[in-house]
A and B are shown apart, each in its own frame.
Chain A
Amino acid sequence: MENMLAPAAHRAGDTVRPQAGPPVLQLRNIEKVYQTKTIETVALHQVNLTIGKGEFVSIMGPSGCGKSTLLSIMGLLDEPTSGEIELDGRPVQSYSDRELAALRNHKIGFVFQSYHLINDLSVLDNVELPLLYRPGVSGRERRERAYAALEKVGLGARTNHFPGQLSGGQRQRVAIARALAGRPELILADEPTGNLDSVMGEEIMDLLLHLNRQEGTTIVMVTHDEQQALKTQRLIRFFDGSQVS
């Protein structure tokens, strides 16, 4: 397997930018309101967004502006108060818990700021995890796909390690391999470099860019880092729950 973290000189083809394809995800008039007995908080207000196939979109905004809420709604982890979501052209509002879980499993990969690896499972077992919830995938196939995903992120030699034995950057690469193992159409990354120093952050950013450019993986990334955001194809800014650019 090719190591995606090879030096930049070996990645001359990275300049190729895939054109945005048909919509993978569409949000229309999304509203999200959190309501308590006394307070009503509008987290998202009239958000309209289309993510094309092969796009790398970054979302920026100050803390509390609704970025993570938006990502949760895009990832079908949370329901909007109103509005419509289409994933691969299919409206998902009426989907049951089981159908939404299957869609998340097949179509979406998640990368989180704090990795969310299971410390008591080996790297390989962590990466296999999404495939455990996919019927019809044999144990052997799970292993093979997990190995392949780990090779892609340059951790083919760390399969039997445990998360506690890895650096922050390596852990995030394991998390990315876990997102890749299910071969999703869309990767949602919530501040993937937020817990890393600048060098490791760059490594992870390079890896995501490479996956987007070489593999055509669609990525939506929430970030606070302007420099990283500028490397993506499209930058969306949020303020007080609304899209401002």
Chain B
Amino acid sequence: MININNLSFGYPNTPELFRNISLHISRGETWAILGPSGCGKTTLLYLLAGLKFPTSGEVTIHGEKILRPRPHSGLILQDYGLLPWSTVRENVALGVNVRKFYGADGKHTPDDFIPKDNVESWIQRLGLSEVVDKFPAQLSGGQRQRTAIARTLALEPDLLLMDEPFSSLDAITRENLQNLTLSLCEEQNITLIIVTHAIEEAAMLGKKILLLDTAPNSTARIFENPNAGSRNSAEFHALCETLWGEMQKRNAP
């Protein structure tokens, strides 16, 4: 589904973050991108989202080179990106309304787009019915994140990109939302790529874990994690320890 081919990227006047890195991600997989601050995790997500572009090499999704945000990709950012002046209902409907605004032009909106009234069902599904007329400032962190997820899933994406979406939530809410995200992605056959700096989160969510080092990254170090979704198994703890050891080793002075 996703091919990263010999990709290089660096911000002006700073060392390169990626140098000739290549990676393949198949449809329906769940990936976690893990690494220390400044290693380029979020940048890689933005490259996949079509919000930044490689200095050389390319990203293709379903064979198409990414030159702009792709209508079938959903992106959820750390601070949820909700409009503060819109209610929960309006925020969930935002993506659908943007598509209605353009119509099926094939650029901003898929050319097979048919407006569907699925906003209310996603509001119910994500347990937002009681706060539907509230503004983001009136919501808890968990409710804000649910709103962002509902807004993205209402667009029926085949790829969900998440940038540290659970980092500011309490442990119980975080765990609930991690489980919810996994089950929704499985149910909708969505490819999930989540960026995190938390080893446990990566081991919980990613069936494959891409471990990034301090820049520049030139090889994709991938850890297989067939037991993702469970945090009580011995394998989970073993993987966490391995990842912790690897990160320690790489960041040792």
Determine if chain A interacts with chain B: no
